[in-house]
Amino acid sequence: MPHFSPIDVGVLVLYLVCVVGLGAWFYTKSSNPDGYMAASRSMSGWVVGLSIFGTYVSSISFIALPGKAFSSNWNAIAFSISLPIAAWAATRWFVPYYRQGNAVSAYEHLEKRFGTWARTYAAVCYLLTQVARMGSVMYLLALPLHQLLGWNIPMLILVTGGLTTLYTLLGGIEGVIWTDALQSVVLATGAIVCAILIPLSMPEGPGQLMTIAAEHHKFSLGSMQLVLTEPTFWVVLVYGLFINLQNFGIDQSYIQRYIAAKSDGDARRSVWLGALVYVPISILFLWIGTSLFAYYGARPELLPPTIQAEIAKGNGDGVFPFFIVAGLPVGVSGLLVAAIFAAAMSTLSTSLNGAATLTLADFYKRFYRPDATEKESMVVLYVSTLLWGVIGTSAALALMEVKSILDAWWKLAGIFSGGMLGLFLLGFLSQRTRNLSAILGVTSGVLVILWMTLSHMPIWPAAWADAKSPFDSFLTTVFGTLAILLVGFALTQLLDRSSEKEPQSALDQPREPQPQEEV
């Protein structure tokens, strides 16, 4: 396996120094709680939009989308197509909903609807998913970089976690947003360079790529059948819509960016920019995967036996990282590995700042010191950023020893977030739903998600084989969320037999801003 040249290493190191330096640049602006958590609500829409895009594209997407297209087809494009629909919903309802008042936590609104349990439940679920997210991103980033660079996996994890924690701690949300914007440019540049260079590297020119791809149906969008047992185009489309609504509607990482924008208009523009940039870039990643299939199909001798063995198993994730080092000119390889780092660090910094914000707003000030001073709040933010960085890095190191738990970890993250989306929508769509209906709705939805998840895992008892979920795993969050809504709505009708007219939906009912405690 080839290794980096000194020039490539220099490009990568220079990039990492610039990222940390940019984060540290905003230290003075993030020296108070409002600056650290909300950038003093002063950010322009374009930079927040690039930050949303950077948050959306993890290092896993950078590797997994080309790997998916290499191994199969363009079925994954259905996920991207759903994004503008979710962006429209976000600009129509979610952005104005979260920007009213002074709350920084996304989950303070749940407390006003259902009480303290709902806010605490959602905040705990978010924190658990971020630990899963940080650990998985760092670990899965280290795997290909270990092959590319020959560096030790624990060292890669520690370097990634340490640098990200450092610039997040120093720069606060403003530093995170600006570094995300920089990393978005690096990501997009890397994708564009590869999308152009691979076709030009074909032995018989770009036309050969199209011929090979067409012969193997690599541009297919997948099955168009209306079935629920396999990842058809329609199943992936619906899955993408729910996941994107989840991101834009309940994820603290995105909501904090709405709040950081200097106006409602800037917040709306940031959502559209992030969504509309992601769609063509995701198409570029799929094009890269298809191009690599044709490139190595024409020159199979260039692939080492280890990667050929993985391809034979249906796993093409290792092809793009190999090409980055073996197939690109000196210097460009360094840029592309910097892009992989960029995707990972953008995701990690977002998770760290969101976790620190919730630690202060939803736990420390909510339960322990409501009147905490500004200085005390900053100490909590700094310490919690460092603490969550250590926890996320530790989770990544733990995954080295328990590799088989990786898929289960991601599935558990889906369980937590699925329950959050249903609870939020239940309170958002009906003002008559109260605690009992919400609690039973969330319980039923989480049980559906658990059933659909665990019934396809080795721990499911053989005696219960007939009780396995027949549905494709992409529908787990979809059905779980729908279960929460249907049960919640049904119980609301059963428990509330009054004849008075039901108020308007929370989507369109005008609200009077309510005084809220600043955090």
Domains of the chain, residue spans: 6-401, 405-509
pLDDT of the residue at 129 = 85
* Letter string b/e over residues 78-103, b meaning 16 or more CB atoms within 10 A of that residue's CB: bbbbbbeebbebbbebbbebbbebbb
In angstroms, how far is the first alpha carbon of the chain from the final one? 51
Helix axes 116-149, 59-71, angle to 10 degrees: 70
pLDDT of the residue at 5 = 77
Handedness of CA 481, 391, 13, 143 (dihedral sign): negative
For domain 6-401, say whether CATH 1.20.870.10 is its number: no
pLDDT of the residue at 415 = 63
Handedness of CA 23, 27, 31, 35 (dihedral sign): negative
pLDDT of the residue at 232 = 93
pLDDT of the residue at 401 = 64
Spell out the per-residue pLDDT of the chain, length 519, in tens: 455 678 888 888 888 888 888 877 887 778 888 889 988 898 999 999 999 998 887 666 777 789 889 988 999 899 999 999 999 999 999 999 999 878 888 898 888 888 899 999 899 988 988 888 888 888 877 877 776 777 788 998 998 899 889 888 888 888 889 988 888 888 888 889 889 999 999 989 899 999 999 999 999 998 999 999 998 999 999 988 998 998 898 889 899 999 999 999 999 999 999 999 999 999 999 999 999 999 999 998 888 888 888 888 887 878 888 888 788 888 888 888 887 777 778 788 889 999 999 999 999 999 988 888 999 999 999 999 999 999 999 988 887 765 444 445 555 566 667 678 889 888 888 888 888 889 999 999 989 988 998 888 788 888 898 899 999 888 888 999 999 999 999 998 887 665 455 554 444 444 444 444 443
Name the nearest CA neighbour of 396 among 62, 4, 20, 60: 60
Cβ contacts of residue 103 below 8 Å, gap of 6+?
109, 361, 516, 519
